[in-house]
Amino acid sequence: MSFAPFAVAAWLFVVGLWGVVSSANLVRTVLCLTVVQSSTYLILLGVGYRSAGRAPIVADIPVVSRLVDPTVQVLVLTDIVIEATVTALLLALVVQGHKRFGSVDPADFTTLKD
């Protein structure tokens, strides 16, 4: 039970990578990249957890209660917002690629070869 979050994160990483490698549609590639990023969030949050710890908000609980680590939560929350905009950038690239080549299949992007 105590290893489960890390196992899920490793699985998500490999499955997301498999999606990136095997997809025939660039939009699906970008979304599988999102899955890979989610695995990193799981790892970070899993490392920072203290058993029986509460959220690090002391507005209504005493300061001396057992709290989880707030540092990794900061990293994850900024990362989620950044991930959304980076995904937007990748999708903008896909849109321009589609306009240029007429399809979103990476196998059809052939200019560099010929």
Contact set with other proteins (CB under 8 A): 1-7, 9-11, 13-14, 17-18, 21-22, 24, 43, 46-53, 55-59, 63, 67-74, 77-79, 81-82, 84-86, 88-89, 91-93, 95-96, 99, 107
59: its two tokens = 């507005």
Distance in angstroms (rounded) separating the CA atoms of residues 23 and 18:
8
Distance in angstroms (rounded) separating the CA atoms of residues 19 and 4:
22
Distance in angstroms (rounded) separating the CA atoms of residues 87 and 17:
16
Rounded to the nearest whole angstrom, what is the least distance from the CB of residue 86 to other proteins in the complex?
5
DSSP secondary structure code for residue 24 in this structure: S
Rounded to the nearest whole angstrom, what is the least distance from the CB of residue 11 to other proteins in the complex?
7
Rounded to the nearest whole angstrom, what is the least distance from the CB of residue 29 to other proteins in the complex?
12
Which residues, in sequence order, are bridge partners of residue 54? 67
Rounded to the nearest whole angstrom, what is the least distance from the CB of residue 18 to other proteins in the complex?
6
Say which amino acid occupies 65: S
Nearer of residues 85 and 111 to other proteins, judged by Cβ: 85
Identify the three-state secondary structure at position 22: helix
